Structure 1
Amino acid sequence: MAADADANAEEGGEVAGGGKRKKLIIIGAGGLVLLLALGAGAYFFLFSSSEPPPMVGEDGAIREAQKPVVFYDLPEMTVNLSTEGRTTYLKVRIALEVQDKEMIERIKPFLPRIMDAFQIYLRELRPADLEGSAGLFRLKEELLRRINLSVHPARVDGVLFKEILVQ
């Protein structure tokens, strides 16, 4: 019987010792997490720069921060679209996006050429060409291509629709 009591005492000691070991592991892990959190906080506060972080695009490429731009409003245009019956009109107001005011001054002398290129292209469109976001995107890209051909060596960065009305 004494042998059984000694065995039970050893098992109880192992359980009690195991409980202390678990407490030490939990306390150690908590301390480690606390030290990591303090280290990360110190790193961000002490080593971060005042510059904004780089922007990452959808394709994973790092992009520069957006630079200020200038917008130039073109005169409103109303053209009749190419249709087989009832006359359909397109009224459009467009703004050009350029990098600075100097570029606007370089573009202004070409304004008659720009308007002519737009009028010729828009008159050949059908109402079906302007349906949906894909149609408007194609229109925007084509107008941008035509304007950059008209104002070369100056450059327009974007064509923005302020108003589009098909009637």
Structure 2
Amino acid sequence: IVNLAGGSRTYLKVDVALELSGDKGVESELEGKLPMIKDTILMVLSEQTPDSIADNKGKLRLKDELLKRINMILKSGKVMNIYFTSFVVQ
């Protein structure tokens, strides 16, 4: 759960699933860097405004940004896709 940008009292609750490449070692690298990855996800999410993620285009842009930022952290593999398994703005 993160507060959204824009000065309103709006928050986002999202559950994320990551699809990893088949490279050996990517799971262990991901686990070792999990605090950095979680922090990156929280920072990117908290930069969003309610309007920027209101439609599917906005959610796709958010996924692209998360993919880019997470893959910058990983060295031996990469995240192929991000799935929002829950997405609630309130």
The match for 2:36 is 113
Give the C-alpha shift of residue 102 in structure 1.
4.0
Gaps of at least 5 residues in structure 2 are none
Structure ranking higher in strand proportion: 2
> Of residues 93, 106, 126 in structure 1, which corresponds to 2:15?
93
**How far apart in 1 are the matches of 2:53 and 2:21?**
28
The match for 2:49 is 126
The match for 1:149 is 72
Q: Secondary structure at the match of 2:82?
A: strand
**How far apart in 2 are the matches of 1:113 and 1:127?**
25
Give the C-alpha shift of residue 152 in structure 1.
2.3
Write out aligned runs for 1:1-167 (5 A). Answer: 78-84=1-7, 86-100=8-22, 102-167=25-90
Quick one: percent identity of the two aligned structures?
37
Give the C-alpha shift of residue 83 in structure 1.
2.4
Give the C-alpha shift of residue 155 in structure 1.
1.0
CA deviation digits over 1:132-154, x for unaligned, max 9? 11001000000000110112232
Gaps of at least 5 residues in structure 1 are 1-77
TM-score (norm 1): 0.50
Q: Secondary structure at the match of 1:90?
A: strand
Q: Which runs of 4+ in 1 moved over 2 A?
A: 99-103
RMSD: 1.5
Greater RCO between the two (CA within 8 Å, min separation 6)? 2
Q: Which has the larger radius of gyration?
A: 1
